[in-house]
Structure formats: C-alpha cells, structure tokens
Amino acid sequence: MIEKPDSYTSLILDSLSEGVFTVDTEWRITSFNRAAELMTGVDRKAAVGRFCWEVFHASVCERGCPLRKTVDTGQPTSGNRIFIIDADGERVPLRSATALLKDASGTVIGGVETFTDLREVTALREALSRDRCLEQMIAKSAVMQKIFHRIEKIAPSDTTVLITGETGTGKELAARAVHGLSLRANGPFAVVDCTALPEHLLESELFGVKKGAFTGAESDRSGRVAHAEGGSLFLDEIGELPLPLQAKLLRLIQEKVYTPLGGGGERPADVRIIAATHRDLEQESRQGRFRQDLFYRLSVIRLHLPPLRERMEDLPLLLDHFMETFSRIHERSVLRLSPEARIRLMRHDYPGNIRELENAVEAAVLQSESEEITPDALPDAIGSSGGQTRNTVPEEDEHPATDLITPAEADQNRIADALALYGGNRSQAAAHLGIHPTTLWRRMKRYGMPSV
C-alpha cells in the first residue's frame, strides 16, 4: 500500500533544494518533492505510484542501486555518483544518499533517497580539463601575450602545428586554442595520447579497425582520424609514436588518406594535425628515433610554451583563478590563502608547471579545515626542504647579517618580497610592510624599482 505524506511533510520536502523521493517495499514511488520534479522533468503526479526505475532510468537501476543496497543491508549510503535520463532524454549527473524508512514500531516500510544535481560542478570540471581558456585570458606576462598573438595568426591556416614545452605547460590548451580560433572551430577536436597504448592498439585507436584484425576485434570500429573529420586531430606526446606508425601518419599528412587496421581500402581524411611533445624531435630525428621527413612535415609551424617558472608574474592570477574554481567544484565558500601559504606557493619552482600548481591548489582546498588555507594544507612538495624553490619571495630570515648586504638592499628585498606576495598590489604590499602606500612608492622610486 502506498503511504502518501501529509500536506505539512510535503511542504517541508518542497522547501529543500535537494531532490527527495521515497519508495514502499514494492519499489513504487510514494513521494516526490519539487526539486525532484525540476531535476528529472517529471511531474510528481506522474511519478507517484510508478516503479522508481520507470522514472529515473538511472545508470545503476539494473545493477548497483544504492537504495536497494540500503534496503538489503539496512545500512545507509552517501556520496553515490549516478546518472539519470531526464524527461527530455538528457543525461544528468547526480550525487545521492539513501536510508531506510521505518514506521513507529520500527518495521521497514520502504526507503528514501536524496540527490543533488551535479550538472554545474560537472560543467566546471569539463571546462577546466577541456579548455582552460580562462588561464589564457588571465595571463598578463609579455611572453604569454606574444604566444596568444601568434596563435591568432596561425589558427586560420590548415597547416600542421608542432607545440613544444615541458610537461604540464598547457600544450593541449594551446592546441585547443588553435582549433577554437580556426575555420574548423565548429568541427570536432579529437585527442590521442601516444603514450597510452601499445602499438597495435594505438594504430586501431588512430585509424580504426576491421573486424578480426586482432583478438578481441569483434566488429568494425572507427578511429580518431574518422572522429576528427572536418576538425582537428591532436596527437599528444608525438615523440613516443612507434616508427611504423610514424610512416602511416606521414602518409595521412601528405596524401590525406589512411587505411584502418586490418585493411578495408583507403579512406580520405579531412583533418588538421596538431602535435605536441616535451622532447627535442630535431635531435631525436638525427639519432634515428624519429623520422626526419615526419618531423619536417609536423613542424611547418612551431609553437613553444615556456615553463611556469619563466612567467611567474602570471602566478598570482593563476592562484586566484584555481582557488575560486576548486572552491566552487568542491562546494566550499571561496577560500583565501594565508600570507605564509601564499609565500610558499610563490617560492616554489613548479617543475610540474601549471598542472602541478593546479593539483596543489585543489589539494589545499580539499584539505583546509577553515576558510583560510595555511601551509599545513599544502602538499608536502610545496615549500618543503626537499622541494625546488626560488629566491623571488624569500623567507624573512633569508637575508641574515652574514650576507653582507646593506640596509638599503635589505629594504629593497623586503619591498620586492611584499610586492611578489600580493601580485604587485602596492596598497596590500604597503599594509603588509606597515607603511603608507605613498611611502612605499617613494622608496621604490628612490631604489629605482619599476612601478607595478
């Protein structure tokens, strides 16, 4: 028998921002609040009385249903990541929690599930991993502005591009920017990581495979070249591509045709090739580890990305950007960095570049127990004795008397430290030093320090 909530209970449930529904012991929905209606697109009158799987079409309905697990074991669950299909046929990511429903005598009469819409969080994550365009927009260093200008110039062409730079410098970001500013922007952007698969699987990933080409190839499957038709194909870490596949890639670039693994005849391809590597391919080609003719074909246009340590003036802006982004992703109020934590982050040399900075900030946001991130919340590698650090923002005791520096030099060091700590903001730097901004400006002028 379906137990319907009274009007007062329904009023309470409808005031919640989380979706809530209950089921009886036969898995029929007995209540369905307003937030559940909005997230699923299903009216409560249409939902109540139906089996829950008829309404949610969830990814876990057939196997792994958290509500069924709760009913079977008597234990509540939380933090379940699931997907449902809403009334418009759209895939909706949710996070759910489940519990038993009991009557006054303690008899189980069903279960309750609450769920939170994760579409905004998921979109933030996808935007961060797919584009990271905000990183470009907030960069102020001269070297990055030159790169942005160069990307704008080379993007409209269909010529191949080779992007070089250390790991974590944002080579995929640059490739996406080239694609996004090109005439192919409305076409697909397909990515292949040349380090991820063994040779025969990498070939099938690139060019597709015919049924029976190898054990496990039970049907025809198109590859990334086909997926990128009319758009761009990004080959990450091209320096790891095996030599036999280099010959096939060269044919694709020169003749605009390819053959799937297992045969099936030539197929035309309309794709722009953008490749990236952290290796010196010119040296690799001289040593016979990379085809020289392919190197020349790939490097018609070269784009080199500097490591983060060579554009540290962008660091304060990147810090603020990642702080805000990860605070939102992890559903926390926007956190702030303590001066000590900011100094550690500013001093670090970032051998892992932007990716290391991004990971460090996310870890700090997750581990911080208050709204201010202190050094304790930072990863051990940041500012540790074993980590790589710079002298741009030294600790207060890093200029002892034995360094034989003059009082004026010591004052310049303190001013430089404060300006670096606050991203060049003179008012904040002056407050940190305990002096008036005008006094700070006069000292900077006296020492010949550039205005920020």
Residue 165: closest CA among 271, 1, 302, 343: 302
Q: What is the pLDDT of residue 258?
A: 94
Q: Which residues contact 308 (CB under 8 A, 6 or more apart)?
A: 168, 169, 314, 315, 350, 353, 354, 357
For every one of its 452 residues, what pLDDT tens digit does the chain have, with 9 covering 90 and above?
A: 445 566 777 788 888 889 999 999 999 999 999 999 999 999 999 999 999 999 998 877 877 899 999 999 999 999 888 888 888 888 888 999 999 999 989 999 999 999 999 887 777 665 554 444 434 556 788 898 899 889 889 988 899 999 999 999 989 989 999 998 888 888 899 999 998 888 878 998 899 887 755 555 556 788 999 999 999 999 999 999 999 999 999 999 999 999 988 777 889 999 999 999 999 999 999 999 999 999 999 999 999 999 999 998 889 888 988 988 898 888 888 788 888 898 899 889 899 999 999 999 999 999 998 888 999 999 988 865 445 565 544 333 344 433 445 667 767 877 887 787 777 788 877 777 767 777 788 788 877 887 65
For residue 407, the model assigns a pLDDT of 63
Rounded Cα gap, residues 275 and 298, in angstroms: 7
The radius of gyration of the chain from alpha carbons, rounded to an integer in Å, stands at 29
Coil/strand/helix, residue 246:
helix
Backbone conformation region of residue 188, classed left if phi is above 0, alpha if psi is from -120 to 50, else beta: beta
Residues 197-213 as b/e (b if ≥16 CB within 10 A, e otherwise) read: eeebebbbbbbbbbeeb
**Residues linked to residue 110 through DSSP beta bridges, in sequence order:** 101
- pLDDT, residue 399, reads 40
Tell me the β-bridge partners of 22: 31, 112
Q: Provide the pairing of β-strand 29-32 with 19-23.
A: antiparallel
CB-count burial class (<10 Å; 0-12, 13-18, 19+) for 72? exposed
pTM summary value: 0.58
Domains and CATH numbers, the chain: 7-118 (3.30.450.20), 137-304 (3.40.50.300), 309-377 (1.10.8.60), 409-447 (1.10.10)
Look at the chain and count its residues. 452
In this prediction, residue 428 carries a pLDDT of 79
> Tokens representing 29?
């929905």
Three-state DSSP at 31 gives strand
What gap in Å lies between CA 14 and CA 16, rounded to an integer? 5
Q: Which pLDDT belongs to residue 17?
A: 87
Cα distances (angstroms) measured from residue 392 to each of 206, 312, 349, 398, 419: 45, 9, 10, 11, 10
**pLDDT score for 2:** 46
